[in-house]
Structure 1
Amino acid sequence: MARNHSRSPVTGKHRVARRTKIAMGAIGLAIAVGALAVAVTTGRTGEASADPADPSFFIDISKVPAGNNVNAALQKKGAQGSFTVDCGTDADGAHQNPDNFIAQPGIKNGAQHLHDYVGNLTTNADSSLKSLLAGGTTCKNGDKSAYFWPVIRIDRADDAQQQQRNQKAQQEQQGKTGDVQQDKSAQDAQDAQDQRDTQGQGGGRSGRSAQRQDGRNQDQNGQRQDRRRGQGNQNDNQNNGRQELGGIQGANKEVGDNDGTIIEPESATLKFIGGGAQNVVAMPLGLKILYGDAKQSTNGPANARPSWTCTGFEDRLTDLYPICPAGSKVERIHAFPNCWDGKNTDSANHRTHIVFANRQGQCPKGFKNVPQLQVTLVYDVPQDVQQKGEYKVDAFAQEKHNPRSDHDDFANVMSKQIMGRLVDCINSGKACAE
């Protein structure tokens, strides 16, 4: 009996220590659940919450200096002709994907943001000149060129949905905390049984504890092996090229960090002009041209271009989202590079083979003036959405919907006949439309 009395206080201390550990574990799990609740209510899990653009990205168009549109100034120089191609607006969203066969060739969902396409009907990650030549087109004159740009979304904050998600997270937290308490009660009951076993059977408690510990060790070893097998399978998928970047999800075609309701342009004008040159030469078949920089936060500002304005304010451009007055609509103007090196249809960085003319419309030595493509997109963004900063352009995650990341892509697949008419219209001063 003396031996049992001498061990009882020690056993009590162990029980206190174990209960303390269990209690601390319960608190830790509750904190983790709380963190999960925060993640559910603020992050993009399943049904994404609003992820608006930063308020500093917006500006009243009246505060943008007039006369800073270099494109408009160049249009007054050189050949005054133009050639407009009617390829529609992709109003029904029939041709959209997060691919870019110019910048990320062969990588499905490589752009990680959604593009609107007009022109060639087959444009995707695997497009080539051969496949584009074989494709159909939305252009009325048969132009099979590929024209594509990132979509714009409206991302309204929905208080009702946010409150519902908060309530659900709280319920889940309460339920999991209750489970922890039940587990703790069960553990206390087991400890009591262990103590009785120890008092009645000597080393029984140590044997049972060892068995449970062995079981836990086996479970942990099994989990580690499963994780290693999972990592191995993931690596196999990557090595075999089976793994793809995340694609389109949900009715709103969300992709990457881009959520919200897509708003299609009410007009998309594809216009070729002289770009300040006295005369232009034909573009080569397959010429690829980029406008702007989708990764300007990584690459720096050199290739980013001010693209935003409002209808009626085309004498100015800004690199911020414009807030337009009543009766005016949000507008994007993308004026592409127009000085071709005369040899290559593409280059390693997709830029050095074709660059911008200077402010006099002149190309660098050895380069030739080709027709300048100017894409003008007009959107009917509600006034309250503009004022609340609730619209944004699709972008790579690191851009955080920065309007400076706006960009546009073009690949020339015009027939010689169409290109011939285009060049003639510009050089002869005619305003042609097909």
Structure 2
Amino acid sequence: MRQNHRRRPTRSAKPGTTRLVLVAAALAATGGLTATFVSSGGRGAADAATSPSDFVPIEQVQPNVVPPGTGPDASTGRFTVDCGTNGDGKFSADNPVAQPGVRNGAQHVHDFVGNLVITADSSDADLDASDTTCENGDKSAYFWPVVRIDLSTERDNGQPSAAPTGSAGPLPEPQGPNLELPNNTGDILRPASVLIEYLGNPVGKVIPMPKFLRELTGEAKPTSRGPANARATWTCSGFADRLLDKYPICPTGSQVQRVQDFPGCWDGTNIDSANHRDHVAFADTTTGACPQGFATIPQLRITLSYDIPQEVQAGGQYALDSFPEEDHNPASDHNDFINVNSAQTMHRIATCLNEGEDCR
């Protein structure tokens, strides 16, 4: 099932609604950036703002991506899947990987591509019976926090969102045409393109990943839980040799990108674990080898590319949806995945990677 992938235009203000400009940006003679991004708060405050230091010109970042060298047994192939760009607008605040069974457990809105029925409560049987946005019939679920462009402190009803109280009870429902949640407002910007790739391993062959394997990458709460699981994901097209944990300011003609690598090692037994992490692991960044006791599986990489006007980037006017306490922290970027590829397709993916081919 192929969807219409045209990017949704940014909404203009309703007639009679005051739209307050949030961002004051100035490039001083020294080239320094001053910017403020306000999105109805964070850390429980009504007007918390991101820091100007959260936005960095990509040219100021030194190259820092050094892939491991390949050995004689490397699986050098690549398998790509086209699942669209969420053209039909499947947005949800559910996170069925990190918060299964908890409605609106993400506390921010996700883009979803692939599986069409997935919710916090979906069973494996539900997922397997679903239709999909992926051209090859892949029913896997791929989802990530949306990016928003925020030009006003006012919601569509003229009232700022309230910070969650932390009291017991159901989490707040998304509201309004932009699916606002507490401390997350602004117009959702759909990716211009979504590249989903399954990659091999530089030192060994891969085995098929098991059906219904859950994986996540990144850390949605680096402020409260610590940065141990956070990963640098941000870059610009044409600058693949550098990744940063800040929002990039890209040169004219370059797209803002999020490059999100998932674990490529599996414990060989479990499709999930108590913290949703221990059953998988990342390969060593220097050698490419999996930890002892882990099998090498296809590594999922999702690259999200956005057409963001230069003045919006320089003004610090785009940011992630985030947990309230994260203040739209760029280091809180993350991505989630449930493998619902058929056994036949996953075998074909592994064979493609092991034989060094470029497949789809």
- Shorter-chain TM-score bucket reads 0.7 to 0.9
- Does structure 2 conserve the Cα–Cα contact (< 8 Å) formed by 1:50 and 1:156? no
CA distance in 2: counterparts of 1:334 and 1:355, whole angstroms: 15
CA distance in 2: counterparts of 1:133 and 1:364, whole angstroms: 31
CA distance in 2: counterparts of 1:75 and 1:97, whole angstroms: 40
Task: Name the residue aligned to 2:299.
Answer: 372
* Percent identity of paired positions between Structure 1 and Structure 2: 50
Please report the TM-score for the alignment, with normalisation by the length of structure 1: 0.68
What's the CA shift string for 1:50-86, capped at 9, x where partnerless? Answer: 87532221101001111x124xx14856221010011
**Displacement after TM superposition at 1:278 (Å):** 2.1
1:125 aligned to 2:120? yes
1:244 equivalent among 165, 170, 173: 170
Task: Name the residue aligned to 2:325.
Answer: 398
What's the CA shift string for 1:392-413, capped at 9, x where partnerless? Answer: 0111011110000000000111
2:85 equivalent among 64, 82, 89: 89
- Does structure 2 conserve the Cα–Cα contact (< 8 Å) formed by 1:91 and 1:266? no
- Does structure 1 conserve the Cα–Cα contact (< 8 Å) formed by 2:39 and 2:150? no
Equivalenced residue count is 307
Superposition pairs of residues 162-177 of structure 1, within 5 angstroms: none
What's the CA shift string for 1:358-393, capped at 9, x where partnerless? Answer: 021101111000000000000001111100101001
**CA, structure 1 residues 76+323, in 2 after alignment: closer, same or farther (shift >3 Å)?**
farther
**Displacement after TM superposition at 1:293 (Å):** 0.6
Task: Name the residue aligned to 2:29.
Answer: none
**CA, structure 1 residues 130+382, in 2 after alignment: closer, same or farther (shift >3 Å)?**
same
**Displacement after TM superposition at 1:417 (Å):** 1.0
Task: Name the residue aligned to 2:147.
Answer: 152
Task: Name the residue aligned to 1:32.
Answer: none
Task: Name the residue aligned to 1:410.
Answer: 337
Task: Name the residue aligned to 2:314.
Answer: 387
2:57 equivalent among 55, 60, 64: 60
1:79 aligned to 2:5? no
**Displacement after TM superposition at 1:275 (Å):** 3.6
Task: Name the residue aligned to 2:271.
Answer: 345
Superposition pairs of residues 11-410 of structure 1, within 5 angstroms: 44=40, 53-66=50-63, 68-70=64-66, 73-74=67-68, 78-93=74-89, 95-157=90-152, 243-358=169-284, 359-410=286-337
**CA, structure 1 residues 88+144, in 2 after alignment: closer, same or farther (shift >3 Å)?**
same
CA distance in 2: counterparts of 1:52 and 1:266, whole angstroms: 27
CA distance in 2: counterparts of 1:50 and 1:384, whole angstroms: 23
- Does structure 1 conserve the Cα–Cα contact (< 8 Å) formed by 2:39 and 2:186? no
- Does structure 2 conserve the Cα–Cα contact (< 8 Å) formed by 1:97 and 1:109? yes
CA distance in 2: counterparts of 1:79 and 1:415, whole angstroms: 21
Q: Which residue identity is paired with 2:239? A: F
**CA, structure 1 residues 134+51, in 2 after alignment: closer, same or farther (shift >3 Å)?**
farther
CA distance in 1: counterparts of 2:256 and 2:148, whole angstroms: 13
What's the CA shift string for 1:239-268, capped at 9, x where partnerless? Answer: xxxx42101111111112111111000100
- Does structure 2 conserve the Cα–Cα contact (< 8 Å) formed by 1:50 and 1:155? no
CA distance in 1: counterparts of 2:222 and 2:117, whole angstroms: 28
CA distance in 1: counterparts of 2:88 and 2:126, whole angstroms: 24
**CA, structure 1 residues 264+276, in 2 after alignment: closer, same or farther (shift >3 Å)?**
same
- Does structure 2 conserve the Cα–Cα contact (< 8 Å) formed by 1:99 and 1:124? yes
Task: Name the residue aligned to 2:354.
Answer: 427
Give 5+ residue unaligned stretches, structure 1: 1-41, 167-234
CA distance in 2: counterparts of 1:277 and 1:123, whole angstroms: 35
- Structure showing greater radius of gyration is 1
CA distance in 1: counterparts of 2:50 and 2:114, whole angstroms: 30
The structure that is strand-richer by fraction is 2
Per mean C-alpha deviation after superposition, the further-off stretch among 103-112 and 50-59 is 50-59
Q: Secondary structure at the match of 1:303?
A: coil
- Does structure 2 conserve the Cα–Cα contact (< 8 Å) formed by 1:79 and 1:279? yes
Q: Which residue identity is paired with 2:61? A: V
CA distance in 1: counterparts of 2:69 and 2:135, whole angstroms: 26
Task: Name the residue aligned to 1:210.
Answer: none
**Displacement after TM superposition at 1:299 (Å):** 1.4
CA distance in 2: counterparts of 1:50 and 1:273, whole angstroms: 42
**CA, structure 1 residues 253+360, in 2 after alignment: closer, same or farther (shift >3 Å)?**
same
**Displacement after TM superposition at 1:102 (Å):** 1.3
**CA, structure 1 residues 44+363, in 2 after alignment: closer, same or farther (shift >3 Å)?**
closer
CA distance in 2: counterparts of 1:65 and 1:275, whole angstroms: 25
Q: Which residue identity is paired with 2:105? A: G
**Displacement after TM superposition at 1:156 (Å):** 1.9
CA distance in 2: counterparts of 1:260 and 1:275, whole angstroms: 40
- Does structure 2 conserve the Cα–Cα contact (< 8 Å) formed by 1:279 and 1:427? yes
Q: Secondary structure at the match of 1:376?
A: strand
Q: Secondary structure at the match of 1:385?
A: helix
Q: How large is the Cα RMSD of the aligned pairs?
A: 2.2
**CA, structure 1 residues 75+81, in 2 after alignment: closer, same or farther (shift >3 Å)?**
farther
